[in-house]
Chain A
């Protein structure tokens, strides 16, 4: 079974600085999808970025980018020019391709609380 691990319960960063959140996962599958979701105090999960495992190029979305290391099973999120609105819980999630053994579900890490210092 697949597992996702986020080893940093909490991270803090000064506004306008850069921060990297870590995520590792375990799987025997060769193709899959990885996601970073943000959950602010409003509770709604918001997709930040997604990565297809078959793509070697790291995904980017404006100030958000990932460092995807497939062999190391690592999927870190870098937030550049941190803003106060970035403060939230960040969750890393894994999903198998259709036909995989994860029943179409997202498998989640425990989350990292990101604090932005003004």
Chain B
């Protein structure tokens, strides 16, 4: 059984650019959640996708957007990058969207905005 994978592992962008991060969910999982983890902090919830639709959103501006595909893989897009967007971006998949479902995490994408 393949776990959650993310690409790329590292990325360097400049302020104002756009970035796309990718996540492949674990086999059998239909729900993907995205988190932003700034250095030295706990993760912050960005949004969740369930069966290709956004299912919940944290306190992030609209320039953070996402997609989920029929195979349940997902993309996180960030437009007009700001310096504060530098962080580790974590993707987690789960077999359902309920609170009882454990989320399984990928290794993350480290984004540096210069």
Contacts and interface: CB of A to CB of B under 8 A. Distances in A.
A42 interface: yes
A103 interface: yes
B95 interface: no
Nearest to A103: B56
A105 B104 contact: no
B43 A98 contact: no
B66 interface: no
A45 B102 CA distance: 12
Given A44-B108, A45-B105, A50-B102, A104 B97 contact: yes
A47 interface: yes
B42 A45 contact: no
A37 to B, nearest CB: 8
Contacts of B100: 33, 52, 97
B23 to A, nearest CB: 13
B90 A45 contact: yes
B78 interface: no
A44 B99 contact: no
Interface in A89-108: 91, 93, 95-98, 100, 103-108
Interface in A56-96: 91, 93, 95-96
A111 B106 CA distance: 18
A105 B33 CA distance: 8
A95 B99 contact: yes
A46 interface: yes
B92 A45 contact: yes
B81 interface: no
Nearest to A107: B45
B48 interface: yes
A103 B58 contact: yes
B65 interface: no
21 contacts: A4-B42, A33-B100, A37-B105, A44-B105, A44-B106, A44-B108, A45-B92, A47-B103, A95-B99, A98-B97, A98-B99, A100-B99, A103-B45, A103-B57, A104-B56, A104-B98, A105-B45, A106-B33, A108-B44, A111-B40, A111-B41
When A and B form their complex, which 5 residue pairs have the shortest distance between CB atoms, in order from nearest? Answer: A108-B42, A103-B56, A105-B45, A45-B105, A97-B99
